[in-house]
Amino acid sequence: MLSEKISKEFNIPLKQVEATVNLIDDGNTIPFIARYRKEVTGGLTDIQLRDLDERLTYLRNLEARKEEVIRLIDEQGKLTPELQEKIEKAEVLQRVEDLYKPFKQKRATRATKAKEKGLEPLAVIFLEQENHSETIKEIAAPFINEKVETIGEAIQGACDIIAEIIADDPELTAKIRNFTASKGIILTSQANEIDEKQVYELYYDFNEPIFKIPNHRILAVNRGEKEKKLKVKVEIDTPPIISTIKNTYIKNQSIFTEILENTIDDSYKRLISPSIEREMRSMLTERAESDAIKVFALNTEKLLMTPPVKGARIISIDPGYRTGCKVAVLDDTGKLLDHTTIYPTKPKEDIVGTERVLLGYVKKHNVNVIVIGNGTASRETEEVVADFISKNNLDIKYTIVNEAGASVYSASELASKEYPDLDVTTRGAMSLGRRLQDPLSELVKISTKSIGVGQYQHDLTQTPLNTALTNVVENVVNRVGVDLNTASPSLLSYVSGINSTIAKNIVAFREENGIFTDRKQLKKVSKLGDKAFLQCAGFLRISEGKEILDSTCVHPESYKVAKELLKLTELTLVNGGNPEIETKIEEKFPKLADLATQLDVGLPTLQDIISEIKKPARDPREDAPPVIFSREVKSFEDLTVGMELTGTVRNVVDFGAFVDIGVKQDGLVHISKIAKKFIKHPSEMVSVGDNVKVWITNIDKERGKIGLSMIKN
């Protein structure tokens, strides 16, 4: 049943869905399924598989909730075949909850208190609206008892019960919800709290239809409300709603009409309207957060896929003023060679001393790259470095590195364990340099929320955010692969089948027994059993081991096939790859399917093996834009409107893209300035890490804001 629904929704053959679900239920990880079970899934990507898994979880939770609601209503003796059918046919959790609402055990309300007083039969009389010769008061009189002192109290109690019945009506609730969602308006105004910086000035007198308001505005409004700078409410034209309720509950003109009309007004104002407003705000927030998480995940993926700069022997500088700039010198493997503090910026401005230190390190360690963090004092430090390189005619490149999250990492428990003998600032400088050498290995040590590519990430519901970001990191780590002999526990813990405990055990085994020379040695690692080995082995590389296939992403379960293929093509796998393998195969097997049959292997797996033999352990990050070295612009004062610049996209959000153009403050390319054609989201045209050509459209020196355009005027 669920597989059929997923098959239709995702347009995937049923057998394929069922087989994929079985793989997930058997405990296989998404990266493993995506890479090594393509025959089963039909080649679904890790992203498609996660979407399928997420939908499967939702549908299973939906079915479980249906069963629970049916049981709870049945225990009350109120379950009818018609109601059960409605619940079973419900497509979303919201519908199930609507149907359950009239039967849900409530805290003490006016209606529940009235029922306890025995007034429910009177409410039924009012609702039935049958002709009576008595007046309302005469009808209510028999309901006076020790708990009900007056006729007025009896009538009011009956009305309270009716008001709750109306508010709990699932069909009516759905209609009002849909009407409010399509016709409602979000209104915002300035709260009593003073907004000193005028951050929310746009929303002091603002309104926008619910169906139209963009996600980033929802998050901005929510934050303004949370900070008590804004008042927010939902406004809707109520007469059509009241009319709908009346048409539903007032059968004809009778002695009960007036009292029912008043009750309907009370039900809407007191119960329905506040509930629907909460739902609308919740719906908008959920929608906005879901979109923000997707954008954040996409940005994070692009950042993690930044290509490493190989062979970089680095002087890494973490800029500062009073306390100076921390310097770390790293060899091309990231090993710390030297560290010190220089004072090129105010108040000391020791340029001579700074240049002497830098030149000494350049000569001593054969440095070829200088890295500068983009935080406080970055611009001044960059000027000194640029002048130093020029003055000494050095063959050295320099670049600016985004230092978001570096301070978080350097002060973390993880950093303390990795480098117990170094102070926080030196760890931070090291981290900046290593971000250039191997961004993925360094960035996985930092909370993804702190790496500067999100949109209101600290305001979002943390559980789904953390899940999404963890999934992204897992996808990237397993797509790239991990060097088993150099990877840190932080990096290893994201490998398919490996948790933090096993990751630490792998490093401990490596430290005790020396480097791994064979993937099979993994089975000797504590708590890494056959299941974990199956999941992780293909993603872990050994560059100079006993088995050359261990340096590729060919899974050990396919070694036999790979070796038979090499034998058939009369090739010997070499580290540099065998580009001629495709030609050799075509000569003997014009149809690749015939070769797959002969080797008794699935065609997708065979194609992957061929790709690995052709170019072993190819790094997918090679396809990403290269790092930009050196800059022309040094300060805000160098900027002029109309200037053409090349920059790097640092963040992509709903309303545009932030581009690093070489000054401390990133410029904003509004979504309307990204392309000549209409685009729904900036991510359609740009990604984090892209190198783009931009033109300055406006400069606000007071607020430190730069407007950019990717469209030449």
Q: 531-556, pLDDT tens digit by residue? A: 999 999 999 999 889 999 999 999 99
Mean pLDDT confidence for 125-144: 93
What is the Cα–Cα distance from 202 to 217, expressed in whole angstroms? Answer: 10
pLDDT-based confidence at 702, cuts 50/70/90?
confident
Mean pLDDT confidence for 141-162: 96
Residue pair 350/342 in contact (Cβ under 8 Å)? The answer is: yes
630 pLDDT above the threshold of 70: no
Which residues contact residue 632 at a Cβ distance below 8 angstroms, ignoring those fewer than 6 apart?
Answer: 645, 662
According to CATH, the topology of domain 113-295 is Tex N-terminal region-like (1.10.3500)
| pLDDT tens digits, 651-697 | 999 999 999 887 778 899 999 999 999 999 999 999 998 999 999 99
Domain with CATH 1.10.10.650 in the chain: 2-103
Q: What is the DSSP letter of 650?
A: E
According to CATH, the topology of domain 314-437 is Nucleotidyltransferase; domain 5 (3.30.420)
Residue 402: CA atoms inside 13 Å, Cβ hemisphere, count? 27
Tokens of 368: 């070829």
In terms of pLDDT, which residue wins out, 225 or 458? 225
For residue 133, give the 3-state DSSP assignment: coil
pLDDT-based confidence at 350, cuts 50/70/90?
very high
What CATH number belongs to 2-103? 1.10.10.650
Residues facing residue 656 across a β-bridge = 653, 670
Alpha carbon of 698 to those of 280, 646, 670: distances in Å?
37, 16, 12
449 pLDDT above the threshold of 80: no
633 pLDDT above the threshold of 60: no
What is the Cα–Cα distance from 378 to 399, expressed in whole angstroms? Answer: 11
629 pLDDT above the threshold of 80: no
pLDDT, residue 448, reads 75
| pLDDT tens digits, 324-342 | 999 999 999 999 999 999 9
Residue pair 536/530 in contact (Cβ under 8 Å)? The answer is: no
Give the global pTM.
Answer: 0.87
| pLDDT tens digits, 62-105 | 999 999 999 999 999 999 999 999 999 999 999 999 999 999 98
22 pLDDT above the threshold of 90: yes
Parallel, antiparallel, or unpaired: how do β-strands 369-373 and 314-318 relate? parallel
Alpha carbon of 155 to those of 66, 259, 382, 631: distances in Å?
36, 9, 80, 80
Alpha carbon of 372 to those of 314, 397, 506, 603: distances in Å?
10, 11, 34, 48
Options 1.10.10.10, 3.40.720.10, 2.40.50.140, 3.10.510.20; which CATH number does 636-709 get?
A: 2.40.50.140
pLDDT, residue 174, reads 97
Tokens of 222: 């929510």
Domain with CATH 1.10.150.310 in the chain: 482-622
Domain with CATH 3.30.420.140 in the chain: 314-437
Mean pLDDT confidence for 507-527: 96
Which range is least confidently modeled, 252-266, 525-539, 602-616, 625-639?
625-639
pLDDT-based confidence at 631, cuts 50/70/90?
low
CATH class of 482-622: mainly alpha
Which residues contact residue 305 at a Cβ distance below 8 angstroms, ignoring those fewer than 6 apart?
Answer: 440, 476, 480, 620, 621, 624, 689
Give CA angle at 396 (395, 401), nearest 5°.
165
Mean pLDDT confidence for 171-188: 97
Which range is least confidently modeled, 374-388, 421-435, 523-537?
374-388
pLDDT, residue 704, reads 82
What is the Cα–Cα distance from 304 to 438, expressed in whole angstroms? Answer: 9
Q: Percent of the chain having pLDDT more than 90?
A: 82
Q: Percent of the chain having pLDDT more than 70?
A: 99
pLDDT, residue 460, reads 87
Mean pLDDT confidence for 462-483: 92
Q: What is the DSSP string of 194-233?
A: --TT-TTGGGTEEEEETTT--HHHHHHHHHHHHTTSEEEE
For residue 545, give the 3-state DSSP assignment: coil
Domain with CATH 1.10.3500.10 in the chain: 113-295
**What long-range pairs does 514-521 form, CB within 8 A, spacing at least 24?**
515/485, 516/484, 516/485, 516/542, 516/545, 517/542, 517/545, 517/546, 518/542, 518/545, 518/546, 518/547, 518/550, 519/484, 519/545, 519/547, 519/550, 519/556, 520/556
pLDDT, residue 632, reads 59
196 pLDDT above the threshold of 90: no
Residue 192: CA atoms inside 13 Å, Cβ hemisphere, count? 0
